């Protein structure tokens, strides 16, 4: 058992050092990179599709798509009008920092771009692996139940923004929004939370304002060069 523990620590340590290189590279380029985390089907790709369409070329968005299999989400993103790279993790349940490095090599993001990283749908493992992103965004949809923040606290504890998605469905569900917000506060009292519907567009303007604010806060430290 101690040997297994040591191996896990080595894997995480190696990942962390690669993540630090990614973070330095993305910062050098002045790129806002967002690790998008949620359970399967919470609406990660739908949020990105709508964001790309609504920003309408005012910001260059690029997407790294993580799924165990298929290129479906990358195809959706390209149809929405952005460059996308699909990474298939096979039996892996999360993206790791070396996968982000491969995506950066292909996409070559430049100053003021937003690089979205859609992680594999999972509320557990992706929380353990730093990719080197600027910010972590968790999406929780109202169809999942309001107790997820206290049942999977780690991912909420380490997030910078929470989007509560699919609020158009609230009239049809027993989801207790206030109780969910209370649970979020219990786990991470400073977590900024926005209620949105990627389907109807409700609440999405606040998300775009958050993106612009985070983007404005970045400045590249050196001229952009290919990695
Ligand atoms: N009613 C409603 N449906 C939504 C909303 N957002 C996403 N959906 C639907 O939810 C389903 C799953 O959305 P996706 O965007 O594929 O979810 P995902 O998180 O990317 O899923 P994985 O990549 O498989 O983890 C799709 O049928 C979407 O159209 C929303 O705000 N309201
Ligand atoms: Mg998806």
Q: Select from 2.60.40.1180, 3.40.50.300, 3.10.105.10, 3.40.50.920 the CATH code of 2-216.
A: 3.40.50.300
Domain residue limits, the chain:
2-216
Kindly give, in sequence order, each residue whose CB lies less than 8 Å from that of residue 44, ignoring residues fewer than 6 positions away. Answer: 36, 38, 118, 119, 121, 139
Nearest C-alpha to atom 14 of ligand 1 is from which residue?
A: 43
pLDDT in tens, the chain (227 residues): 567 678 888 889 999 999 999 999 999 999 999 999 999 999 999 999 999 999 998 999 999 999 999 999 999 999 999 999 999 999 999 999 999 999 999 999 999 999 999 999 999 999 999 999 999 999 999 999 999 999 999 999 999 999 999 999 999 999 999 999 999 999 999 999 999 999 999 999 999 999 999 999 986 555 555 55
The predicted pLDDT at position 181 comes to: 98
Mutate to test the pocket of ligand 1, among 37, 39, 41, 141 (most ligand atoms within 8 A of CB): 41
Mutate to test the pocket of ligand 1, among 37, 45, 46 (most ligand atoms within 8 A of CB): 46
Nearest one of 131, 152, 128 to 140, comparing CA atoms: 152
**Which ligand number lies closest to the CA of residue 46?**
1
């Amino acid at each position: 058992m101690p040997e297994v523990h040591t191996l896990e620590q080595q894997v995480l340590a190696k990942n962390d050092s690669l993540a630090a290189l990614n973070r330095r590279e993305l910062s050098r380029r002045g790129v806002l990179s967002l690790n998008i985390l949620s359970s399967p089907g919470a609406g990660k790709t739908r949020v990105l599709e709508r964001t790309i369409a609504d920003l309408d070329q005012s910001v260059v968005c690029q997407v790294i798509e993580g799924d165990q299999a298929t290129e479906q989400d990358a195809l959706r993103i390209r149809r929405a009008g952005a460059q996308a790279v699909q990474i298939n993790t096979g039996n892996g349940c999360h993206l790791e920092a070396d996968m982000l490095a491969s995506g950066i090599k292909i996409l070559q993001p430049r100053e003021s771009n937003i690089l979205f990283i859609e992680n594999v749908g999972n509320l557990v493992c992706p929380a353990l692996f730093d990719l080197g992103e600027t910010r972590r965004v968790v999406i929780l949809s109202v169809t999942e139940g309001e107790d997820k923040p206290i049942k999977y606290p780690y991912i909420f504890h380490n997030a910078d923004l929470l989007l509560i998605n699919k609020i158009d469905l609230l009239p049809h569900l027993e989801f207790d929004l206030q109780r969910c917000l209370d649970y979020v506060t219990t786990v991470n009292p400073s977590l900024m939370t926005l209620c949105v519907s990627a389907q109807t567009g409700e609440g999405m303007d606040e998300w775009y304002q958050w993106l612009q604010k985070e983007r404005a806060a970045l400045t590249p430290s050196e001229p952009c060069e290919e990695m």
